[in-house]
A = this chain, B = another copy of it.
Amino acid sequence: MFLRNSWYVAAWDRELGRTPLARTILSEPVVLYRTAGGAPVALEDRCCHRSLPLSMGRIEGDELRCGYHGLKFDASGACVEIPGQPSIPPQARVRSYPVLERYRWIWIWMGDPARADPDLVPSWWWADHPEWAFTRPDMIHVKCNYQLVSDNVLDVTHLAYVHAGSIGTAAIAEFPAATEREDRLVRLKRWIVDRPAPPMYQAAGGFSGNVDRGQIVEHVPPCFSVNFAICQDTGSGAPQGVKRGRRIDLMALSAPTPETGRTTHYFFGFVRNFKLGDAETETMFEEGMVRVFNEDVAVLEAQQRMLETKPGAPKIDIRVDAAPLAARRMLAAMIAAENSPAAATAA
């Protein structure tokens, strides 16, 4: 079961144009395109006539014509032409989804259109800000449930094991993390104090001595996480909120969109406030960090396969599960609320 009344990332802005894009979201086939004016449109990707995916059709002006018998649909999903017959029955329509474009992503609202409030899109303003660079790698298709991705993002322990060769350092396990819960947010906070910077950060920030390293993850259900990585000369007050001396800020934005219950469109990007416009740094994020994400993909897909092989097998929880478990409970409560009789009455 998914949380329906939420925005999800449907595509990168660059993926949408005047050719229909087919994408399954929350197990629903969706077709995305842009009108002549460039506005994004999302419709049910199934012709109401004989079920051909509308994504096999062609765009005509602001409308989409089915590639089989030529029914034409406007951006609201209404059928506006049936070849060979003058009248159009009112049931001749497909579902249309609210969409908006923000931070270079196309966001889609999968629930009740009346509740599609643009303010509910997570506030990731750095992605659009001139003082920050935004690295926008292609989405990765991952064969796992999207919550496994959020679990992964909300856990920094695994850096030492999954990413031992890249960004992980053995020091991580020594510093306990604190989990904070807010209304619709789970925060995981850890400061690694007075330790050498890992190689990738050393190269990025030019640190000579030890650093204080903040690892803060803010997770907003159903699936939005920001991993803040802060690296500042040790002793200069970073854990207390002081910005001083050599410092770099790097945020990994994660938006794993459920394709189905067992597959995910993993959208992500990196924003940083250092070495803007530096080609080498850009390459490191475009390629090096994507390699890191792919280390996670191998783990996530193996985990999904094993969960499917042994569905009800017992499991234990450990300390580092506090934040992922808090996020899962928060989401479960939201889904339950959405499906309660009270919600149905209110709607």
Binding site for B on A (CB under 8 A): 29, 45-46, 48-53, 56-57, 65-71, 82-85, 89, 91-92, 151, 155, 157-158, 160-162, 173, 176, 298-299, 302-303, 306-307, 309-310, 313-320
Chain B residues whose CB sits within 8 angstroms of the CB of A49 once the complex forms: 315-318
Are the CB atoms of B68 and A299 closer together than 8 Å? yes
Chain A at the B interface: mostly helix, strand, loop or mixed? loop
Are the CB atoms of B310 and A29 closer together than 8 Å? yes
Are the CB atoms of A51 and B310 closer together than 8 Å? yes
Counting every copy of the chain, the complex holds 3
Min CB distance A57 to B, Å, is 8
Q: With CB as the reference atom, state the residue of chain B lying closest to A51.
A: B306
Are the CB atoms of A310 and B83 closer together than 8 Å? no
Q: With CB as the reference atom, state the residue of chain B lying closest to A65.
A: B161
Chain B residues whose CB sits within 8 angstroms of the CB of A176 once the complex forms: 84
27 pairs, A vs B, C-beta closer than 8 Å: A29-B306, A29-B310, A48-B315, A48-B316, A49-B316, A50-B303, A51-B303, A51-B306, A51-B307, A51-B315, A52-B303, A53-B302, A56-B299, A65-B161, A67-B161, A68-B161, A69-B155, A69-B161, A69-B318, A70-B158, A70-B160, A82-B319, A83-B157, A83-B320, A84-B157, A85-B319, A91-B316
